[in-house]
Every structure is written in C-alpha cells, then in structure tokens.
C-alpha cells in the first residue's frame, strides 16, 4: 500500500507564522503601564503604620540627646561645607 502523505513545506509554515503580529508574554505596553499604575495605587493604599519608631525613620525620638543634636547639625550642613565636614570626620577616624 502506497501512502500519499506529502510533507508540508517548512518555508510555507514559516511564512504563515511570520505574518502574524508578535505577541508579548508580558502584554502590550498599554497593558503594562496600566498594571504598573494599578500596583503603585495599591501599594500607596496598603501602607499601614506599625509603630511610632517606624514613623520616626531611624528612631531619633528614642536616641540620646547628643545624637539628636548631631543629626540636627548634620542636616544644617550646606553642600559647599560637606567636603570639609567629611575631611574632618576622616581626620577624627585616622583615615587618609
């Protein structure tokens, strides 16, 4: 018994697939932008205050007064004074 099976030409199948628009597994740029916007909105709404220490950042409220004074003075340093401040800290620490 002879079979009349004809192999489908590879070039024809590639041509058919090449004419299809590309599909991204992550969605279109518009879908990705909408998803990112929804995530930002959801994370902003999901913030829950855990304790007052988290609210203060580093916990300055519970720190000694000398440390609070240091942080206050550190926040008053201008960008022009910052290199001199760093040089002074390096000198105090004995670093080059």
Is 7 part of a structural domain of the chain? no
User: What pLDDT shows up at residue 48?
Assistant: 62
Give me the mean pLDDT over the 1-20 stretch. 73
pLDDT digits (tens, 9 = 90+) for 35-55: 888 877 666 555 666 555 544
Q: State which residues form the domain around 89.
A: 26-93
Position 86 in a domain? yes
Pick the residue with more confidence: 75 or 51? 75
The answer to whether residue 65 sits within a structural domain is: yes
pLDDT at 67: 77
Greater confidence (49 vs 22) lies with: 22
User: What is the percent of the chain with per-residue pLDDT over 90, rounded to a whole number?
Assistant: 0
CA dihedral 56, 58, 59, 64 (to 10 degrees): -130
Q: Is 6 left (phi over 0), alpha (psi -120 to 50) or beta?
A: beta
**Residue 71 falls inside a structural domain:** yes
How many domains does the chain divide into?
1
The pTM assigned to this predicted structure is 0.29
Q: What angle do CA 44, 35, 26 make, to 5 degrees?
A: 145
């Amino acid at each position: 018994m002879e079979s009349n099976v004809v192999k489908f030409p590879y070039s024809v199948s590639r041509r058919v697939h090449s004419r299809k628009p590309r599909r991204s597994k992550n969605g279109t740029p518009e879908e990705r932008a909408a998803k990112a916007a929804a995530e930002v909105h959801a994370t902003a709404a999901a913030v829950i205050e855990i304790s007052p220490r988290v609210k203060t950042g580093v916990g300055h409220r519970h720190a000694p007064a000398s440390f609070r004074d240091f942080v206050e003075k550190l926040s008053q340093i201008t960008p022009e004074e910052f290199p001199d401040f760093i040089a002074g800290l390096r000198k105090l620490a004995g670093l080059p």
